[in-house]
Each structure stands twice: as structure tokens, then as C-alpha cells.
Amino acid sequence: MRIRIVDAFTDRPFTGNPAGVMLLDAFPEDSWLQNVALEINHAETAFAHPLPEGGEADWALRWFTPVTEVAMCGHATLATAHVLHTTGAHKGPVRFATRSGVLVAETAEDGTVTLDFPTAPLSAVDVPEGVAEALGAPVRAAFDTGPYVGDLLVELADERAVRALRPDHKALTTHSERGIIATARAEDPAAGYDFVSRCFFPNVGIDEDAVTGSAHTALAPLWSQRLGRAALTGLQASPRSGLVRTEVRGARTLLGGRAVTVVEGELLV
């Protein structure tokens, strides 16, 4: 079985968010999938297998962190679409059957992958007690991101506050199902992005994620409303960093980015 490591939401190796990708004939037992994800030890490992022709989807797709299965993952979906395209395993747009419904990915001639994901249903909430202390910064506003994303989205004062965060990861675990998304408007939109974010997911074994596609299904509608534009670019200001191009289309959000395969090998067990 071939296994690949793909850096997603970047066009350069060793940046963006690395994901494991395995194309299978069928899904083995969950315990095997989880053990492989633990062995790969990236934020997510994607497992996919082809489905019979004529159905609503072309491939079945699941995502595992080193400790659990998750309901939605953008960067590992982009990585899987990249592998299908570059290996010739699938031609044209690909429909993935997932725990979050059917998700579509389309790869352009230049390699850019566009994901069609559900827009997160944002709901304003009171800032939970202890969140600002756990993050180490004042919080301007907070939002619940709905069942598929499962994060608490918080707005900070400015880009510098987001970049300076040094959170108490253990203290963050009590405030959401998956974790915390911290965001602010870009200090200088001329730099090529409209908003910044950082994502902390200690509840699923990821203290800080590098570039999070699923989080941008919540970030995009927030900043689209604030800035008055449907199409935006977000910078995830993690140490590896990466850009996510977003476009809100009502109940769906498009996420765009590139990917680079950096490792390809054979799983021996």
C-alpha cells in the first residue's frame, strides 16, 4: 500500500499543513486506521477508497488525527484531491462521501484545488469565562461554529495579538468540542491577505494546527460580512504558515489552495 505525505495550502515543500494520504480498496478496521494515523503523526491522515459508479459520490473519505477520527478536515481533503489528480487515479471533479456529507474538489490545470464545503453556521455567544486567560489575550467577540467544525471562534484586537498568542493548551480543552480559532483583520491588506488566524485543537491531540481548511468555513463568512466581499484570502499565522482563498456562496464556502507531495513510500504492515 502506497502512503504519501502532502503539504497542503502551499506551493512549497515544508510549509502549509502536512497530511498523510492513503488510497485503499476498502476501509479496514477502525483500529488499523487509527494506528496508521498515529504512526504518521500528522494533524490528519486521510484514507480514501473508490465507490461504485452511478452513486452520489466517487470516493469514500475519512480523516484521523493521531488520537481520533474527525468529522471534517479541509487540508487532508485538498491533499487527497491532489494525490488523485497527480497519480491519475481520478479524472475531473471528485465527489467525496464523508461524515460531513458529499464534499466536492476540483483541480485546475495549474494544480490549484478548490474545495466545496458547507458554510459553518456562526452563532454569536458570550465569551466563556476563562478563555481570554487561557489564550493570554483579551477577546472582543466569540462565536459557536456549529456541529461540523465544532470550534469556538474568537476575535482578537488585531493581527499582532493573534501572532503573539502563547496559549495554555490544557486550559483551552474545556471550552469547545475540538478547539479554539483565534482571528483578527489583517494589519495590511496590501500584504496579500485579508484576515489572519491561528487554530488550537488540544482536544484532538493537536496543540496548534498549521493550516486549517475547516476553520475557514467559519472564518470566511465572518470576514465576508465584516469586509463586504464574498472572496477573501486568509493567512494562518502558524510557524509553517499557509494561505487559504475563500469565497462564500450562501450555504457553501469554496476553499482554494495548492499542494505539494513531499514523501511517497510503502506501508509494510
The C-alpha torsion from 244 through 248 and 254 to 258, rounded to 10°, is -20
Please give the Cα distance from 29 to 255 (Å, whole number).
31
Please give the Cα distance from 71 to 62 (Å, whole number).
8
Catalytic-labelled residue, pool 39, 44, 247, 264: 44
The alpha carbon dihedral of 70, 75, 79, 84 has a sign of positive
What DSSP assignment string belongs to 38-94?
Answer: HHH-SSEEEEEEE--TTSS-SEEEEEE-SS-EES--HHHHHHHHHHHHHHTSS-S-E
| Region for 186 from its dihedrals, namely left if φ exceeds 0, alpha if ψ lies in -120 to 50, beta otherwise | beta
Please give the Cα distance from 78 to 185 (Å, whole number).
25
Active site residue 177: no
Query: For 61, phi and psi rounded to 5 degrees?
Result: -140, 130
- Are the CB atoms for 95 and 101 separated by under 8 Å? no
- Are the CB atoms for 162 and 195 separated by under 8 Å? no
- Are the CB atoms for 212 and 75 separated by under 8 Å? yes
DSSP state, residue 240 = S
- What positions carry a catalytic annotation? 44
